[in-house]
Amino acid sequence: MNLAQIVADIAAEMAAEADRGRVADYIPALARVDPAHFGIAVVTHEGAVHEAGHSETPFSIQSVSKVFALTLALDRIGPPLWKRVGREPSGSAFNSIIQLESERGIPRNPFINAGAIVVSDALLAGHDARETIGDLLRFVRFLAEDEGVEIDGEVAHSEAATGFRNIALGNYMKSFGNLENAVEEACKVYFHQCALSMSCRQLAMAGRFLMNDGLQPGSGARITTPERTRRINALMLTCGHYDGSGEFAFRVGIPGKSGVGGGILGVVPGKASIAVWSPGLNERGNSKLGSLALERLAERTGWSVF
């Protein structure tokens, strides 16, 4: 298999696609991103890196950050987290509130917004938001082995300024006793993690531990246990694309986590960590060409987990 050629071919095909989806427009910093962008980076288990297109251009990783926040929160507080957030796909939009009423403030999973706000609250664990955001940034830089990973201040500010629904989710869960800290603190952590800015290369590097039983290749650092790694991957497969998770599993068959910035992190256990980015989204808020690129990559490499 010539992986370099496959990656280059997919980038060329995506560059030629006319129907690129619709760029998120709820904040100006995302609305002005050029939909012509497409990037892909594949880091193999052996350590080879194959990239093409705009693979070195930083973009707002948005909800992809939920994978890193969950990993860190599990490390900090462990299994008690699962009393506060579930492990079922929601079948609802990423920012939906409806299930929280009948399910008594326990979000379905850590990858919808309500679940991620609970994870942010758990991450606070006695620290303030600023320290916690710093911890998360250091963690992601360590995972990517790249000090160039940043939080985009403009995006973080806009998330906070327009995040009425997330604040509502926080308040609603607080009323059920499922947030330990002030809603503002939990949301501040959440807004800043959404504003992490990374390139495909940095994102694929940061995801390596997920293809490697929780060990960071190279340094050999243990990021998390093999058991948790399997579970995080399982959640990515079942919940990583919100109400589009079934379709993504059907078409691609790789654990993946998407964000409204147009990025997707894909994990092929034992084989590869993949990041794709194309800012235009489909009707479920997942990257249109990012999904298509991963579908073609899975077809041509045989990397579906099924």
Asked if 199 interacts with ligand DON (CB under 6 A), we say no
Pick between residue 93 and residue 182 the one whose CB is nearest to ligand DON: 93
Least distance between ligand DON and beta carbon 65 (Å): 8
Asked if 94 interacts with ligand DON (CB under 6 A), we say yes
Site for ligand DON in 129-188 (CB under 6 A): 159, 166
Least distance between ligand DON and beta carbon 66 (Å): 8
Residue 252 · residue 298 · CB < 8 Å: yes
Choice from 73, 198, 260, 272 touching ligand DON (CB under 6 A): 260
190 belongs to the catalytic site: yes
Least distance between ligand DON and beta carbon 247 (Å): 14
Handedness of CA 93, 97, 102, 103 (dihedral sign): positive
Choice among 33, 55, 66, 189 that is catalytic: 66
Q: CA-CA distance, 259 to 253, in Å (whole number)?
A: 18
**Which range, of 98-106, 230-238, 254-262, 291-299, touches ligand DON by CB under 6 A?**
254-262
Side by side, which strands form the sheet with 150-151? 59-60, 196-198, 150-151
Token code pair at residue 128: 């303030």
Q: CA-CA distance, 243 to 221, in Å (whole number)?
A: 34
Asked if 62 interacts with ligand DON (CB under 6 A), we say yes
Token code pair at residue 105: 């403030």
How many residues sit in the footprint of ligand DON (CB under 6 A)?
A: 12
Residue 188: other Cβ atoms inside 10 A: 23
Residue 287 · residue 294 · CB < 8 Å: no
Rg of the chain taking only CA atoms, in angstroms: 18
Residue 31: other Cβ atoms inside 10 A: 11
Ligand-binding site membership of 197 (annotated): no
66 belongs to the catalytic site: yes
Choice from 23, 37, 59, 63 touching ligand DON (CB under 6 A): 63
Choice from 178, 258, 273, 291 touching ligand DON (CB under 6 A): 258
Q: CA-CA distance, 149 to 202, in Å (whole number)?
A: 8
Least distance between ligand DON and beta carbon 260 (Å): 4
> What's the one-letter identity of residue 171?
N
Binding-site residue numbers are 63, 113, 159, 166, 190, 242, 260
Residues within the interface to ligand DON (CB under 6 A): 62-63, 94-95, 113, 159, 166, 194, 258-260, 285
